[in-house]
């Protein structure tokens, strides 16, 4: 996928058109007249502004039902922070909505003046969230990756998002130049003992807040699809009772890590403790239900961003 390569001046015009359209409420015809271009071009400008993500729409309304669900989830599972976004009944996207909410929540943390350490997991949802993050400058913060960023084929792991977020927010970032899953427990220990890695692991333990995706372990489990584990390993995990994976580590339905198997080789940092950090999972959808439930039961998380449907299912 090659970038469309939009020049700056073009984006400026797009922003201008977008502003006139969304903020000033002009029609495309009016914009065309003001900018001295044809209506069609104005339309293109506006849609470019949208597709380039310049236009951010936010709804300032705690939709009652969602709030209600969030409140009940919080009480029932002793969570500190729950955000429930409305479910779009027609869409099957696993990131729509929750990614927006996650981006908003990240922004809330990043706005803090006092320096914070933010741990970042991995996954599609997280990647979508960070794509939606508005750029803000916060050099006072540190962002630390909780997972390695090297895929089995030695390429950069695509869903490792530490660079994306660091780029957006201009904070100091701490990637983990490691494979996600080491070839043996011994190798993992060796890697973790490296001078380059140790400080990152220590930093991740001090995180004030962490954002995590939850991966399912069905046949198209991200861990398998992305080539981090083999089909046999996936099946073995399932046989051992694993229902989900967080930063590469597999857990059973009680939220207890699976003993042995790939878990012994996962090179990710420990999930920050709920006692010292706000640990927020971002997940929605039926597939992830067991995983979310496990994460809650195992006291792995104290924050959750999900959607209405999933929230309702969790409460049953």
Partner DNA sequence: TGGTTGTGTGAGTATTTGCCCATAAGACAA
Partner DNA sequence: TTGTCTTATGGGCAAATACTCACACAACCA
- Contact residues toward DNA (CB under 7 A) are 4-5, 7, 10, 21, 27-29, 37-41, 43-44, 46-47
Does residue 59 bind a second copy (CB under 8 A)?
yes
- Provide the token pair at 242: 């694993």
Taking the complex as a whole, the smallest distance from the CB of residue 47 to a second copy amounts, in Å, to 12
Does residue 139 bind a second copy (CB under 8 A)?
no
Per CB under 8 A, the list member of 30, 233, 264, 312 interacting with a second copy is: 30
Site size toward a second copy (CB under 8 A) is 47
Name the residue nearer to DNA (CB basis): 47 or 299: 47
Within 10 angstroms of residue 8's Cβ, the number of other Cβ atoms is: 7
CA-closest candidate to residue 124, choices 200, 223, 268? 223
Half-sphere exposure of 305 (CA within 13 A, CB side): 25
Per CB under 8 A, the list member of 5, 60, 113, 259 interacting with a second copy is: 60
d(Cα 306, Cα 303) in Å, to the nearest integer?
10
Give, as one character, the DSSP assignment of residue 250: E
39 binds, among a second copy, DNA, none (CB under 5 to 8 A by kind): DNA
135 binds, among a second copy, DNA, none (CB under 5 to 8 A by kind): a second copy
Name the residue nearer to DNA (CB basis): 7 or 92: 7
d(Cα 125, Cα 117) in Å, to the nearest integer?
21
Taking the complex as a whole, the smallest distance from the CB of residue 285 to a second copy amounts, in Å, to 15
Is there a contact between 84 and 307 (Cβ–Cβ < 8 Å)?
Answer: yes
Name the residue nearer to a second copy (CB basis): 132 or 244: 132
Taking the complex as a whole, the smallest distance from the CB of residue 34 to DNA amounts, in Å, to 12
Does residue 10 bind a second copy (CB under 8 A)?
no
d(Cα 187, Cα 170) in Å, to the nearest integer?
33
d(Cα 84, Cα 276) in Å, to the nearest integer?
24
Per CB under 8 A, the list member of 2, 114, 135, 316 interacting with a second copy is: 135
CA-closest candidate to residue 20, choices 36, 32, 9, 38? 32
Which residues between 71 and 110 bind a second copy (CB under 8 A)? 71, 86, 88-91, 96-97, 100, 107-108
Is there a contact between 219 and 228 (Cβ–Cβ < 8 Å)?
Answer: no
Give, as one character, the DSSP assignment of residue 82: E
239 binds, among a second copy, DNA, none (CB under 5 to 8 A by kind): none
The Cα-based distances of 44 to 8, 54, 247 in angstroms read 16, 14, 41
Within 10 angstroms of residue 173's Cβ, the number of other Cβ atoms is: 19
47 binds, among a second copy, DNA, none (CB under 5 to 8 A by kind): DNA
User: For binding to a second copy (CB under 8 A), which residues are involved?
Assistant: 8-9, 11-12, 14-16, 18-20, 22-24, 26, 30, 34, 36, 49, 53-65, 67-68, 71, 86, 88-91, 96-97, 100, 107-108, 111, 134-135
């Amino acid at each position: 996928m090659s970038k469309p390569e939009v020049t700056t001046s073009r984006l400026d015009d797009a922003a201008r058109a977008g502003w006139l359209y969304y903020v000033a409420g002009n029609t495309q015809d009016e914009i065309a007249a003001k900018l001295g271009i044809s209506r069609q071009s104005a339309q293109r400008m506006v849609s470019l502004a949208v597709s380039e993500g310049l236009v951010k729409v936010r709804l300032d309304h705690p939709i009652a039902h969602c709030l209600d669900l969030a409140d009940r989830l919080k009480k029932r599972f002793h969570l500190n922070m729950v955000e429930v976004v409305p479910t779009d009944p027609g869409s099957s996207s696993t990131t729509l909505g929750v990614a927006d909410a996650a981006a908003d929540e990240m922004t809330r943390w990043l706005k803090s003046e006092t320096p914070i350490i933010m741990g970042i997991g991995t996954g599609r949802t997280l990647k979508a969230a960070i794509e939606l993050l508005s750029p803000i400058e916060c050099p006072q913060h540190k962002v630390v990756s909780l997972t390695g960023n090297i895929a089995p084929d030695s390429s950069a792991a695509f869903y490792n998002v530490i660079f994306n977020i660091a780029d957006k927010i201009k904070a100091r970032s701490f990637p983990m130049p490691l494979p996600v899953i080491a070839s043996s427990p011994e190798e993992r220990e060796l890697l973790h003992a490296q001078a380059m890695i140790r400080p990152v692991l220590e930093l991740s333990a001090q995180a004030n807040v962490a954002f995590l995706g939850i991966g399912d372990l069905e046949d198209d489990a991200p861990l398998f699809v992305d080539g981090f584990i083999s089909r046999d390993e996936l099946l073995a995990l399932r046989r051992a009772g694993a229902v989900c994976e967080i930063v590469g580590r597999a857990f059973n339905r009680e939220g207890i890590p699976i003993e042995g198997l790939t878990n012994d080789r996962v090179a990710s940092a420990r999930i920050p403790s709920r006692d010292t950090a706000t640990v927020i999972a971002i997940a929605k959808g039926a597939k992830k239900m067991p995983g979310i439930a496990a994460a809650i039961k195992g006291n792995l998380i104290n924050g959750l961003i999900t959607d209405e449907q999933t929230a309702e299912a969790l409460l049953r």
